[in-house]
Structure 1
Amino acid sequence: MSSKGSSGGDEAKAFYEALAPKHRPKSPKPQNAITIAVSSLALFRMEEEQKIYREQGLEEYVKYQLEHENEPLKPGAAFPFVKALEAVNKHLREIYPDSEDLFDIVLVTNNHAQVGVRLINTINHYNLFIERFCMTGGNSPIGYLKAYHTNLYLSSDSQKVQEAIQEGIAAATVFSPSKEVQVCEQQLRVAFDGDAVLFSDESEQIVKAHGLDKFFEHEKTYENKPLAQGPLKGFLEALGKLQKKFYCKGLRMECPIRTYLVTARSAASSGARALKTLRSWGLETDEALFLAGAPKGPLLEKIRPHIFFDDQMFHVEGAKEMGTVAAHVPYGVAQKYMRTAEKKSSKSLE
């Protein structure tokens, strides 16, 4: 009897060991990591599931998810960005095996916990390294973001993003591009607008209140006075910190992170203040593109960033049309003038 019991125990142990993921890297401590919180609807596509939820209610939605939990969801708007973050982590672990200066992705969703099995199966299907989940069963997850040490929150729900911004958390609403464009798998590329994204909306307030001529005059007068920080300054700072880890190893040209400033500012009349502000913070972007009011979409099509952050839906829409994953940052005076923001149903589980 004892030998049979021992044999059965060994078989059970072997069975569960076979289920366990192999060669999984260790998760960094939250206080050391750069934490990217992403909603399930930003990471994966769930159009059919959301339709069931809106038209048939929660119980049918959960039932559908359970019945299809072994079918992986399709990649969503933030998926290439998350894959690129993990590629950077791979490089960092090769160079600094014991360092915890890494990206840590947290799946944040107001989905029912039962839906978690399908999300886990999908994550494993795509070999994503996402170990931390926050499933709030219909309640807003925003209150948990600070507890997760969140550096950036990406969602498809503009209301939740606005809540996060109000809590002082860098956040943006992610939109899928109108066409699919291949992005680099070996280098994370992040593009930022300047005013009301990296910087405060001080200068945009001048434009809205007094026009461009006063804006140019204002920027010339205050060229040497740094702008106040905007909501995503901290994220650029975090990216710069990781870039320097590669620079220290003589890998500046091979660095798997590249950043871009893509601004409607003019170089000669208002560009200096933007660059001097970054310099005063000890920050830089790899490239700075001053477009003097020209559309951003065509330039972004050439850059092919994994994500582009802007505070104006006009530029977000233009980027989307050219195949860029664009993220709207609802911050600053421009929000009062916004006319084309996409309105999402408040009845969604994301």
Structure 2
Amino acid sequence: MSEIKPSDLSPTEDSGEVRDLADFDNLCLSIPSQPKPRYAVTVAVSSRALFNMVDDRKIYEEEGVEKYVAHQVEHENEPLKPGAAFLFVQALMNVNSRLRELYPDSKELFDIVLMTNNHAQVGVRLINSINHYDLTIERFCMTGGNSPIGYLKAYMTNLYLSKDAEKVTEAIEEGIAAATMFMPEMETELSDTQLRVAFDGDAVLFSDESEIIMKEHGLDTFFEHEKEFENKPLAQGPLKCFLEALGKLQRKFYAKNERLSCPIRTFLVTSRSAASSGARVLKTLRSWGLEIDEALFLAGAPKGPLLQKIKPHIFFDDQMFHIEGAKELGTISAHVPYGIGQKYHKGKLIEQPVKKE
């Protein structure tokens, strides 16, 4: 047996150890830099919103958590199918690619966080599914059955999307923009070069103060009120801050003379009529220093057919009546459970359960 010299144990320039470290450094350089939370627009999305887990959820509800976890482990190499928020998340990542082209070192990007109450054992299937679709999601929060809502502020969340209406309501009560996701009832081909986001106005971008007057006192009183207070800005609603975050990223494209080819486009789709109550809405946006690319006043007409033309990656509304009409015609919809509209359906007051003493 030949003698081993001390020099044989020392790494040299040609040793495998140095080559491995060099390869590791090159790998790190090839991975896109992650956005910093204090600069990023952070979108937290639940696993059931990102992926279609209807069958998996059925196992959980009918057979319990242990069978559910065992099923996920057994099928961890089978990618989950896309869910309601999937195309929206893909569109966010396409915007990130454009931002990196213009600002290679910028940390002002969309940052996606998978925020789920799943157990860590399910994480492998989620990671495999994310890698299968080439999604850049590096931050996970898996709470093992506990509500993830308490972590949203720690992640500096700008928007939370979930399939769980109770958790969404809890997030809104915490002051976080949030919505419950709904799959459309038919597929629609969406833009792969431009993120399109559509917002309702009252109780979404704005508070429900004007909607309260309309519900409680009628349309004529509402019109009179909006005319009287035309120059008084509406109070902000639960998603105003998300529109603000989108505007911040839009301005980065405008600064590079990319306004006409900006990969973010925003829409206001409101039941208000332009002549009778539209001025206050536009003046409110102006007072906030925010722009909306297209403002569409429908004067009570159904929103579904118009949204079918816009083809947004997500449409936010506070009333399930409009959500139902939108998803029937192929629009990915997100319900914002906020304001007086939750007490009404199709314009009629929903009977509230009587609390027992």
User: What is the TM-score normalised by the length of structure 2?
Assistant: 0.90
Read off the aligned partner of 2:44 and give its amino acid letter: A
1:50 CA displacement:
1.0
1:199 matched residue in structure 2: 206
CA distance in 1: counterparts of 2:252 and 2:104, whole angstroms: 12
Within 1, Cα distance between the matches of 2:140 and 2:56? 20
Deviation at 1:52, TM superposition (A): 1.0
Corresponding residue to 1:129 among 128, 136, 139 = 136
Q: State yes or no: 1:145 paired with 2:143.
A: no
What aligned pairs does 1:272-291 form with structure 2 within 5 A after superposition?
A: 272-291=279-298
Report the structure number with the largest CA radius of gyration: 2
Distance in 2 between residues matched to 1:5 and 1:159, nearest whole Å: 60
Query: In structure 2, the residue corresponding to 1:118 is in which secondary structure?
Result: helix
Number of residues of Structure 1 aligned to a counterpart in Structure 2: 338
Alignment partner of 1:169: what SS?
Answer: coil
Aligned to 1:347: none
Is residue 2:255 matched to residue 1:232?
A: no
Q: Encode CA deviations 1:113-147: one digit per residue, 9 max, x unaligned.
A: 01001100111111100000000000000000000
Structure 2 counterpart of 1:265, which letter? R
Corresponding position of 1:28: 35
Q: In the superposition, relative to structure 1, how do residues 204 and 64 fare at CA in structure 2: closer, same or farther (>3 Å)?
A: same
Contact 2:318-2:341 within 8 A present in 1 as well: yes
Mark the CA change 1:62 to 1:5 in structure 2 (over 3 Å): closer, same or farther: farther
* 2:114 alignment partner AA: L
Q: Aligned partners of 1:299, 1:328: CA distance in 2, in Å?
A: 18
Paired position in structure 2 for 1:40: 47
Q: Give the secondary-structure state (helix, strand or coil) at the position aligned to 2:309.
A: helix
1:9-158 matches, within 5 Å, as: 23-158=30-165
Q: For 1:182 and 1:21, how far apart are their aligned partners in 2?
A: 35
Q: Which one-letter code corresponds to 1:24 in the other structure? A: I
d(CA) in 2 for partners of 1:11 and 1:41?
43
Q: What's the counterpart of residue 330 of structure 1?
A: 337
Q: What is the identity, as a one-letter code, of the residue corresponding to 1:337?
A: Y
Paired residue secondary structure (2:30): coil
Q: Distance in 1 between matches of 2:115 and 2:325?
A: 28
3-state SS of the aligned residue for 2:198? strand
Per the alignment, do residues 48 and 12 of structure 1 end up closer, same or farther by CA in structure 2, a change over 3 Å counting?
A: farther
| 1:300 partner SS | helix
Unmatched tracts of structure 1, length 5 or more: 341-350
Q: CA deviation at 1:108?
A: 0.3
RMSD of equivalent CA atoms? 2.3
Moved more, 330-339 or 162-171: 330-339
2:253 partner amino acid: F
**Cα 1:240–1:322 shift into 2, 3 Å:** same
Asked which structure has the greater RCO (Cα within 8 Å, sep 6+), the reply is 1
SS for the counterpart of 2:159 is strand
C-alpha deviations, 1:165-202, integer Å up to 9, x for none? Answer: 00000000000000000100110000000000000001
- Pairwise CA distance, 1:21: 8.5
Post-superposition, which runs of at least 4 consecutive aligned residues in structure 1 deviate over 6 A? 1-9
Task: Measure the CA separation in 2 of the matches of 1:21 and 1:327.
Answer: 36
C-alpha distance in structure 2 between counterparts of 1:305 and 1:175, whole Å: 13
d(CA) in 1 for partners of 2:30 and 2:97?
A: 13
Percent sequence identity is: 72
Q: Residue deviations 1:259-292, cap 9 Å, x none?
A: 0000000000000110010001011110000000
Instruction: Provide the residue aligned with 1:343 in structure 2.
Output: none
Amino acid at match of 1:29: K
